[in-house]
Amino acid sequence: MYNVAIIGAGPAGIFTALEIMKLKPDWKVVLVEKGKKIEKRKCFLREGYKSCPGCKKCGLLCGWGGAGAFSDGKLTLTPDVGGNLLDYMPRKDVEKLIDYTDKIYLDFGATDIVYGKDKEDYAKLAHKATLAELKLVHSPVRHMGTERSLNVLKNMQDFLSEKITILYDDAVDKLIVENEQAKGFTTKSGQKITAEYIIIAPGREGADWLTSEFAENKIGMVNNAVDIGVRVELPAPVFEPITEKLYESKLIYNSPTFGDEVRTFCMNPYGEVVSENYNGILTVNGHSYATRQTANTNFALLVSEKFTEPFKEPIAYGQHVARLANMLAGGVLVQRFGDLLDGRRSTVDRINSSTITPTLTSATPGDLSLVLPYRQLLSIIEMLYALDKLAPGTASRYTLLYGVEVKFYSARVKLTDELETEGVKNLFTIGDGAGVTRGLIQASASGVHVARIICAR
> Is the confidence at residue 411, as pLDDT, over 70?
no
In the chain, pLDDT over 70 holds for what percent of residues? Answer: 95
Q: Which pLDDT score is estimated for 222?
A: 76
**Residue 372: is it exposed, middle or buried by C-beta count within 10 angstroms (0-12/13-18/19+)?**
buried
CA distance 298 to 233: 4
Could you read off the pLDDT of 137-165 as tens digits, one per residue? 988 999 887 788 999 999 999 999 999 99
CA distance 72 to 287: 5
- Helix, strand or coil for residue 383? helix
User: 139-174 b/e with 16+ CB inside 10 Å = b?
Assistant: bbbbbbbbebbbbbbbebbebbeeebebbbbbbbee
Q: What is the mean pLDDT of the chain?
A: 91
- For position 448, what pLDDT does the model report? 98
Per mean pLDDT, which range of 133-142, 286-295, 318-327, 435-444 is the poorest?
286-295
Contact call for residues 272 and 49 (beta carbons, < 8 A): no
CB 151 within 8 A of CB 117: no
Residue 313 CA to residue 319 CA, distance in Å, equals 10
Per DSSP (E only), the strands in 179-259 are: 181-187, 192-200, 221-222, 226-235, 250-254
DSSP 280: T
Which range has the worst mean pLDDT, 161-170, 287-296, 448-457? 287-296
Summarize the confidence of residues 28-56 as an average pLDDT.
Answer: 79
Q: Can you tell me the mean pLDDT for 218-231?
A: 83
C-alpha gyration radius of the chain: 21
- With cut-offs at 50, 70 and 90, classify the pLDDT of residue 208: confident
Confidence of residue 16 (pLDDT cuts 50, 70, 90): very high
| φ/ψ bin of 43: left (φ > 0), alpha (ψ from -120 to 50), beta (otherwise) | beta
Q: What is the pLDDT of residue 54?
A: 65
* Residues forming a β-bridge with 29: 4
pLDDT of residue 45: 62
- The whole-angstrom separation of Cα 101 and Cα 437 is 14
- Contact predicate 198/426, CB 8 Å: yes
Domains of the chain: 2-114+145-222+411-456 (3.50.50.60), 226-407 (no CATH)
281 vs 382, which has greater pLDDT?
Answer: 382
* Coil/strand/helix, residue 143: strand
With CA atoms as reference, report the closest residue to 359 among 409, 403, 298: 298
Side-chain-side CA neighbours of residue 202 (13 Å): 25
Note the pTM of the prediction, 2 decimals: 0.87
For residue 52, what pLDDT is reported? Answer: 62
Residue 241, Cα to own-chain centre: how many angstroms?
Answer: 26
Q: Which residues pair with 166 in a beta bridge?
A: 31
Quickly state the pLDDT bin for 200 (edges 50, 70, 90): very high
Separation CA 135–CA 393 (nearest Å): 19
Q: Poorest-confidence range of 71-75, 98-102, 325-329?
A: 71-75
Cα separation, 126 vs 103, in Å, equals 28
Amino acid at 449: H
Bridge-based pairing state of the strands 333-336 and 364-365:
parallel
What φ, ψ does residue 61 adopt, rounded to 5°?
A: -110, -30
Confidence of residue 212 (pLDDT cuts 50, 70, 90): confident
Characterize the bridge pairing of strands 192-200 and 2-7: parallel
Residues 268-278 pLDDT 10s: 999 999 888 87
- CA 389 to chain CA mean position, Å: 28
pLDDT at residue 43 tops 80? no
For residue 423, name the pLDDT band (cuts at 50, 70, 90). Answer: confident
